[in-house]
Structure 1
Amino acid sequence: MSTYALDAVFRPRSLALVGASPRERSVGRAILRNLREGGFAGPLGVVNPRYPQIDGIRAVARLADLGFAPELVVVSSPAATVPRVIADAAAVGARAAIIVTAGLGRGPGSLLEQTEAAARAHGLRIVGPNCLGVMAPHARLNASFAAGAPLAGDLALVSQSGAIASGLVEWGKARGVGFSAVVSLGDALDVDGGDLLDWFAQDPKTRAILLYIESIQDARKFMSAARAAARAKPVVVVKSGRHAQGARAAATHTGALAGSDGVYDAAFRRAGLLRVMALDELFAAAETLGHLRSTPGRRLAILTNGGGIGVLAVDRLVDMGGTLASIDDPTRERLEALLPPTWSRANPIDVIGDADAARYAASLEALLASPENDAVLAMHVPTALSSSQDTAEAVAGVLAARPRGSIGKPVLGVWVGAGHDATARLDAAGVPTYSSEADAVRGYMYLVRHREAQRALMETPPSLPEDFEVDTAAARAVVDGALAAGRRWLDPLEVAALLRAYAIPATPVALATDPAHAEQVAAPLLAAGTPVALKILSPDIVHKSDVDGVRLNLTSGAAVREAAEVILARTRALRPQARIDGVTVQPMVLKPKARELIVGLADDPTFGPVVVFGRGGTAVEVIDDKALALPPLDLRLAHELIARTRVSRILKAYRDVPAADERAVALVLVKLAQLAADIPQVRELDINPLLADRDGVVAVDAHVAIAPADESPNRGPWHSRMVIRPYPSEWEREVDLAHDERMFVRPVRPEDEALFREFFGRISDEDLRLRFFSTVRHFSHEFIARLTQLDYARAIALVALGTDTGQLLGVVHLLADANFEKGEYSILVRSDLKGYGIGWQLMRMMVEYARSVGLKTVEGQVLRENATMLRMCRQLGFRVNVDPDDMMLMDVALDVASAQV
């Protein structure tokens, strides 16, 4: 249901508390006190059949006796009463409820199930149960039993722990950090983290979102909401349970390497979230985000009156991957004129311990004016000659003198040993202060990481090769055949066929049923001077080295026969119950300067398929040099995945070893991600080693685990187990136009930026004005990225391409709302191609798509003078009305179910 009725949670016009109590130390009394002290301005009803009045407020026995219909109902009554209370709330017209009560149980017949049924029947939204409550300072709402109310601010906190939420509120009060809202999710019967991410992403009073997460139940919903929110504002997340041993039962190396927390980390990274590892880091992030907007880069200038603390800050900056800013000549000359001869003449800029407030302020002004840094860390150590308070006042004065409305360079502060007055002065000037240089640098790097995450979301990936084709039908046949036979592992011959279908280079493999057959199969390879490798073939033995079932570098027929005899005999002795089909025969791959890598797919119970990359070989789990990513991948994401490992360094050239073909490695990762989308029955895939050198890559050994596809109806509008919707290739088609012309229509791809740039060059100023409601001629990379890099789970853009030229002819966008009920469309066709029916066909396909994903309504706004678009809308069945807020606009809306297209 997403953001439906959440306005009643955060901005209720009236509310009722069921379970209010006059008893001290009761939850009901604490909530009532908080509601009254918070100053809630609307009607407030109290429900408790045992008392005629509580704290001077008339109490009633039932919600129906209130005399008004509360929009929000807060429930703290005993667990056994909760289902009835929720049913009563729905009956009187309440839109939402916050259930603080715990102990509703789980499973069929539980109080929780009864509560859910009562709420769902009427569309009543539920926060909780078993939660601290909700605090919305701007609405003067404190519907919680927290110890106190938060300050009003622009940070939204969503926590799965009530204790964490309450602690952060108190921390914020002590540090002057305010919140737009604080929500404790509790058991999240209905409203969950995904819903709240959607809500706060659109909330004008929220500038940044803080998350405390223990687990994610609906990964698809969370990822879609998180990616949308992270594009709009910073989202910081801390997750507990980082060392849960989720990978102990994994059968493949890739499965063992993945691990639960590693997958969460990959998910947060893919969504553009800033992950921190502990609550104190979340506090530091809140301190930073509560004051500063962003930073354009990672170059930090450090201003200090103490050399030692400046050096410590540099060490921490380097440890965290930041960059120490250089000092340009004009700035150096300016500082020379300001500072004594003993100043550091380098970054950190040490203005010397006897610096007074004026010297410190003038130095800060010089650094703020320098183009060679992106932010300034100002640190002050108290001395007999340097007042902390005076210096803080001087810094505040410098910042206040900046032009009003300008987006100033971020300034962070460390005032060692300073009193409250000095830090409060800095806080009022918009300077976050920290207890140590380490915390300050960490806070700065949060800004850097957020900026870079935003930039990464907007980067255009390299184009895939034109011959990037896969034989999906052949691959599915291999997997379906093995499943039909009741097997859960592909044999080496089937693995080879699967890799071949996805054009992943691999060493050829042949089956030999006995030692004599092995000698016969190996003969052609040996005659060509190629040594061979033998490996045991058994559906019951995944890791051949466990039974010493591998022999390498065999150079004669006799050696092959003898090795086969030993392998088979040893395996039968060690694993007498195992089914043994024989041995495989493969040519030895002799690549002395190749790097051993591991690539594959792992299966996560929450996030589904995960792509794994790292250092390969038999000791992969001991070395543990790996990185994870959620599919689908493009080449940019694949290269970024590679770069997050230590082994990426030796893919570069060193000594007499040429650089490996990193693009070939990245392409294998993209193909594996595509395989995960195409064939959800592939649960784990392990290529180890994948040899990479200057000539490309080759898979030497591979394992593939399979299982029947999950046919659950709750998997969403696509059948894959992936939580990020893959490219919807089913919407590719050729379409007939007027004048015997044809066009190819497909969903937009991230690499389409160049097509859009050329396309906009062929649109007249008038058509651009009709589309964007103003004349636009500058199309930035960020602007086009928002048109081409979509979350296919909630948006689609269909592009029409010339079948001969490949040029972009037209495009239609459709963006679903968070509740997935309405979609907003926009369309643009090349100005020189009107009259061919391009717009008509794109609109028809857009409506067809809206119907396929369950949207009820498609809406849009059209300039009143755009007669062509309005005529087409009427022909398609859109209702057309004048916009009540702007007479120059027409609101158009289509009932998707009844549309005749």
Structure 2
Amino acid sequence: MTVRIDSGPVHALLTDGSIVRIRPAAVGDAAAVHRLHQALSAENRRLRFFVPGPRVPGHVAERLCRPPDPAHAALVALLAGEIVGIAGYERDNGAATAEISLAVAEHVHGRGVGTLLLEHLASLARRGGVAALTAEVLLDNHAMLRVFADAGLPLRRHLDMGVVEVELPLTMDDRYLSAVEERESRAGLASMHRLLRPSSLAVVGGTRRAVSVGNAVVRNILEGGYTGRVHLVHPGEADVAGIAAHPSAADLPEPPDLVVVAVPAEAVPDVARACGERGAGALAVLSAGLAASARRELLEICRAYEMRLLGPNCFGLANLDPDVRLHATFAARRPRPGHACVITQSGGVGITLMEHLSRLGIGVSTFASVGDRLDVSSNDLLAWAEADAGTRMAVVHVESFGNPRKFSRIARRISRKLPVLAMLSGRSAAGRRAARTHTGGAAVAELTGAALFRQAGVSPVRSVTEMVETAAVLAHQPLPAGPRVAVVTNTAGTGVLVADACEAEELEVPTLGTDLRRKLAGDLPPGGSCANPVDTTPQVRTEQLRCCVRALAESPEVDAIILVLVPTALADLAPTLCADTGGKPILAVAPEQPEAVTVLPGGDRGVPTFSAPEEAAAALGQAWARTRWLARPAGTVPVFPDAAVGRAREEVREFLRTRPVGGWLPLDAALRVAECYGIRTAPWRRARSAEEAVAALDVLGGRVAVKGDVAGLAHRRAAGALRLDLDRPEEVRAAYRACAERFPTVVVQAMAAREFDTRLGIIHQPVFGPLVLFGLGGSYADALDTRSARLTPLTDVDAAELVREVRAVAALGAEGGDRRMDVPAVQEVAARLSQLAGDLPEVAEMDLNPVSVGEHGALALDARVRVSQRPDEDPYLRALPPF
């Protein structure tokens, strides 16, 4: 999502859900800003300007609204075209701090205008190189002091003669991001209320034709028993579906909270404008086929009239809460009310999911099809699911996330409260294209699916079938306390298949203890096996089977049970499923059933029953993964105050000034960027002549390497750009000349003791945003293909998992052996790269390979950095999607 408040306007939500426009102040705003100041009460003028005079000098507004320069910037907030707030900063040339001024019109106090302006100004100042904002505030100006205190930024205060000197370091740490996220969530929920809990709605697009999208929506609304007021708009019909119709939105008897639009694409902008003029709160646009210009016009209209927009090209929405009973889709059947919030882009997938969830007894609490996702996104709907008391599970099917870094933070928070299942379509082609840039390699496409979803606490699925299978287990069964599975079957061969499937899902099928085996043997027919899988033989009777399941459920050796029965005339499955499992999950496999998964009665809980052993094991594996994630510490995002962010940013921007299209930094610049973030590199010197290369040998001492550099060069040795173990001047001189003939940059670097070669890097993945990668390094890194990846920002827990997930690390010394690897040092490099990715969005790709890791530290021996002009300079800024 592009967010650039330094180049144009953006829109954001206030605490009450209304939409405010924020843009840079212009010279022509001076008169309006002066009127804002003049309209302040005498008391508020005293608090703002320290004097209660009847007038504010005009030059105050003129100074704020002058053109921006390196020492000055200002932003204004507009509601319904009126400037209701202004915030600006002034700094001495080159100073690290800037003084902030802030004023908000009195009639909008308490709606969050000041806090929002502060956030946007802080983002603008941060990108301009300002390290901290300062202000002088009267001690009794409690409202302004509260704005600063609640911002989430580190706050330093000093009281002097009734004036509080405030300093706000512009540190974008986890505390600040959490504060911004909480404010965004609260405002988003307020704005979504009229979309998902409307007290009145209108449908534009119903007809007298028997079959039409609009008529289907009207029929579903009426038959679903919607509790609010329904209005219809049709320019040529007096009534539609037996309800009086109004000729236009202007004729509606009241401003509707929600308007469902199902008209031809070319008519959508005019309908939207009419709805906005009537005061509608939200639009759900089902119409498809809007041209790019019409899409832009539609979003502009919604912003101008402060309407949230679902779609266009969406399937509709539903809220089956008994107090709402809204079903505004054109599905053939009304879904069963229940506890799953379904979020999808595909109408067909949405219908399928709702039908399966209804069939499995899970039901739907809220449904929304985001369609082309011009405004309302999966992030908005996940936040709604979190706050909705009737939702116990979120089921998400999307092609991409509008703001993946926000998605990561939202998902981590929500997943602590309820399961989130996600299927990402279109993974393969996009993932492969993104992976070709090299740092991520082909492995990135695979890593970004399951591993990155799991990092955020999301259960990743690959198909609709797997989605509903996992949902059935998470909705109807408790989570397993551990990975140990008891497999019970009346055919030995089937038990082996289940055991194999469990191990593939990181579940264990342990050999049962002697006492438990003796107990089971006493309950089962002769000839069975009680080791695990438990083979009951086809002669098992119903009561014997029930006793077997009860004994396993009571045993501390077992965390879950999978019951596989091939039908016989001797045993009935149903009574067995009703056995008390003591809070342990039980799943069944019934190979004869036609559905992939059903839910059979099982005492107080339904028992998910699968047609194949592999599907049962996969669904239980998802439940075990959720158990592990919930037990995982949340972690904190490390902040490294020693990072020279300003120097690194200038290094990058200096390159972009001469190469606006971006590209690979020279080797020396890439090494300097790494060093700015406290990443140790082997000592080096750039050489511009053979004699400078020899002088570098004298300075560095010992043996050196001579490296040639060219944009995008991955393996120097293969390209003839690397000479190693040189210690004589004539060797260095010859190596320099050989490299300088072919490569524009030559670096002389001290040889380092080679320990374990690892590789760390950053890559911007189009679906998930920036990732930190880790794996084995050196010349064989690509062939070995041992890598892990995590979404940024990395917590300390993420960094630890990133490193330890590569099993070769443990095998090569992390857990013992002749030499040990300093794993914490590698984790710190990963965390520093994560901060770099956040601070410098222009860094599209970074590769440290190799990073030599010994018993006492990690040392980067090479670096590659690719930069580009990135529009999403502040992915955490509170803003709605742009035009």
- Give the TM-score normalised by structure 1: 0.70
Partner of 1:506: 681
Give the secondary-structure state (helix, strand or coil) at the position aligned to 1:344: coil
Structure 2 residue identity aligned to 1:191: V
Q: Distance in 1 between matches of 2:412 and 2:712?
A: 42
Higher RCO (Cα < 8 Å, 6 or more apart): 2
Give distance in 1, aligned partners of 2:221 and 2:536: 51
Q: Do the aligned partners of residues 252 and 587 (structure 1) sit closer, same or farther apart at CA in structure 2, a change above 3 Å counting? A: farther
Residue in structure 2 matched with residue 213 of structure 1 by the alignment? 398
Which residue in 2 is equivalent to 1:562? 734
**Offset, 1:371:** 2.0
1:137-216 equivalences in 2 (<5 Å): 137-138=320-321, 139-216=324-401
Structure 1 residue 157, shift from structure 2 partner: 0.9
Distance 1:52 1:254, change over 3 A: same
The 5 A counterparts of 1:844-863 are none
Show the 5 A alignment for 1:562-601.
562-569=734-741, 571=742, 580-581=744-745, 583-591=746-754, 594-601=755-762
Partner of residue 557, structure 2: 372
Given the superposition, is the C-alpha separation of residues 92 and 627 from structure 1 closer, same or farther in structure 2, using an over 3 Å criterion? Answer: same
Q: 2:315 aligns with which of 113, 128, 132?
A: 132
Is 151-160 or 652-661 further displaced after alignment?
652-661
Structure 2 partner of 1:533: 705
- Alpha carbons of 1:500 and 1:13: their partners in 2 closer, same or farther (altered >3 Å)? closer
- Alpha carbons of 1:441 and 1:493: their partners in 2 closer, same or farther (altered >3 Å)? same
Report deviation, 1:144: 0.9
Do residues 518 (structure 1) and 693 (structure 2) align?
A: yes
Q: Secondary structure at the match of 1:168?
A: helix
Which amino acid letter does the alignment assign opposite residue 126 of structure 1? L
Indicate how the Cα distance of structure 1 residues 502 and 511 shifts in structure 2: closer, same or farther if over 3 A, else same. same
Name the CA distance, whole Å, in 1 between partners of 2:412 and 2:286: 30
Give the direction of change, closer, same or farther, for the CA distance of 1:69–1:341 in structure 2 (3 Å limit). Answer: same
Deviation at 1:426, TM superposition (A): 4.5
Return the offset for 1:235. Answer: 0.3
Letter in 1 for 2:247: A
Provide the secondary structure at the position in 1 that maps to 2:606: coil
Classify 1:510/1:422 alpha carbon distance in 2 versus 1 (closer, same or farther; 3 Å).
Answer: closer
User: Which of 293, 296, 312 is residue 481 of structure 2 equivalent to?
Assistant: 296
- Provide the residue aligned with 1:450 in structure 2: 626
- In structure 1, the partner of 2:306 is 123
| Separation in structure 2 between the aligned mates of residue 23 and residue 94 of structure 1, nearest angstrom | 27
* 2:406 equivalent to 1:224: no
Kindly state the Cα deviation for residue 424 of structure 1 after the two structures are TM-superposed: 4.1
Name the counterpart of 1:873: none
Choose 515-524 or 3-12, whichever is displaced more.
Answer: 515-524
| CA drift at 1:441 | 0.9
Q: Secondary structure at the match of 1:231?
A: coil
Residues 377 and 411, structure 1, Cα contact 8 Å, conserved in 2? yes
1:773 alignment partner in structure 2: none
Question: SS of the counterpart of 1:353?
Answer: coil
Measure the CA separation in 2 of the matches of 1:419 and 1:531.
71
SS of the residue aligned with 1:277? Answer: coil
SS in 2 for 1:172: helix
The residue type paired with residue 100 of structure 1 is L
1:89 maps to what in 2? Answer: 275
Shift of 1:168: 1.7
- The match for 1:392 is 574
Which of 225, 241, 251 aligns to 1:39? It is 225
Specify which of 4, 7, 15 is matched with residue 201 of structure 2.
Answer: 15
Structure 2 unmatched ranges of 5 or more? 1-12, 14-187
Q: Name the CA shift for 1:618/1:82 in 2 (closer, same or farther; >3 Å).
A: same
Please give the alpha-carbon distance, in whole angstroms, between the structure 2 residues aligned to 1:113 and 1:706.
Answer: 30
- CA drift of 1:314 comes to 0.8
Output the CA distance in 2 between the equivalents of 1:425 and 1:184. 32
1:328 and 1:252 map into 2 onto residues whose CA distance is 52
1:685 partnered with 2:846: yes
Q: Distance in 2 between matches of 1:285 and 1:250?
A: 29
1:342 equivalent to 2:527? Answer yes
Cα distance in 2, alignment partners of residues 382 and 672 from structure 1: 57
Give the 3-state SS of the residue equivalent to 1:232 in structure 2.
Answer: coil
Q: Which one-letter code corresponds to 2:284 in the other structure?
A: I
Query: In structure 2, the residue corresponding to 1:628 is in which secondary structure?
Result: strand
Q: Output the CA distance in 2 between the equivalents of 1:554 and 1:669.
A: 31
Residue 186 of structure 1: how far off its partner (Å): 0.6
Aligned to 2:116: none
Q: For the residues of structure 1 that align with 2:867 and 2:307, how far apart are their CA atoms?
A: 41
Q: Corresponding residue for 2:831?
A: 670
One-letter amino acid of the structure 1 residue matched with residue 687 of structure 2? A
Say if 1:202 and 1:596 are closer, same or farther in 2 by CA, change over 3 A: same
**CA 1:266 to 1:357, structure 2 compared with 1: closer, same or farther past 3 Å?**
closer
User: CA 1:45/1:393 → structure 2, altered by over 3 Å: closer, same or farther?
Assistant: farther
TM-score using structure 2 length: 0.71
Deviation at 1:284, TM superposition (A): 1.2
Structure 1 window deviating more from structure 2 (426-435 vs 372-381): it is: 426-435
Question: What SS does the corresponding residue of 1:298 show, helix, strand or coil?
Answer: coil
Q: Which runs of 5+ in 1 are unaligned?
A: 572-577, 718-792, 794-817, 820-901
Separation (CA, whole Å) in 2 of partners of 1:317 and 1:490? 48
**TM-aligned CA deviation for residue 227 of structure 1:** 2.4
Q: Does the C-alpha gap of structure 1 residues 558 and 193 become closer, same or farther in structure 2, counting only changes over 3 Å?
A: same
* Structure 1 stretch displaced more, 203-212 or 219-228: 219-228
Question: How far apart in 2 are the matches of 1:484 and 1:210?
Answer: 45
How many angstroms apart in 1 are the aligned matches of 2:803 and 2:430? 24
Structure 2 counterpart of 1:373, one-letter code = V
Map 1:72-83; keep pairs closer than 5 Å.
72-83=258-269
Alpha-carbon RMSD across the aligned residues, in angstroms, is 3.4
2:351 and 2:243 map into 1 onto residues whose CA distance is 27
Match of 1:704 among 850, 857, 865: 865
Identity %: 33
Deviation at 1:546, TM superposition (A): 6.2
Matched, 1:27 2:213: yes
CA 1:130–1:650 in structure 2 vs 1: closer, same or farther (change >3 Å)? Answer: same
Q: Output one character per residue of 1:298-323: Cα deviation in whole Å (capped at 9) or x when no partner.
A: 22222222222111111011111112
> Equivalent residue for 2:806?
645
Q: Secondary structure at the match of 1:432?
A: strand
Say how many residue pairs are matched: 689
- For residue 411 of structure 1, what is the aligned residue in structure 2? 586
Q: Deviations over 1:743-776 (max 9, x none)?
A: xxxxxxxxxxxxxxxxxxxxxxxxxxxxxxxxxx
Cα distance in 2, alignment partners of residues 66 and 492 from structure 1: 66
Q: What displacement does 1:99 show?
A: 1.4
Instruction: Map 1:240-639 to 2 at 5 A.
Output: 240-245=425-430, 253-254=438-439, 256=441, 259=444, 262-263=447-448, 267-325=452-510, 327-328=512-513, 331-386=516-571, 390-396=572-578, 398-399=579-580, 408-417=583-592, 424-426=600-602, 429-458=605-634, 469-472=642-645, 475-476=648-649, 478-479=651-652, 482=655, 489-515=664-690, 517-519=692-694, 521-522=696-697, 530-538=702-710, 544-545=716-717, 547-569=719-741, 571=742, 580-581=744-745, 583-591=746-754, 594-605=755-766, 607-639=768-800
Contact 1:378 1:413 in 2 (8 A): yes
Alignment of 1:725-764 (within 5 A): none
Query: Could you tell me whether the CA contact under 8 Å between 2:477 and 2:605 is conserved in 1?
Result: no
3-state DSSP of counterpart to 1:87: helix
- One-letter amino acid of the counterpart of residue 495, structure 2: G
Contact 1:258 1:602 in 2 (8 A): no
CA displacement 1:177-231 (0-9 Å, x = unmatched): 4211222111122221111001011111111101001011223443333222212
Evaluate the alpha carbon distance shift between residue 711 and residue 87 of structure 1 in structure 2; reply closer, same or farther with a 3 A threshold. closer
The SS at the match of 2:429 is coil
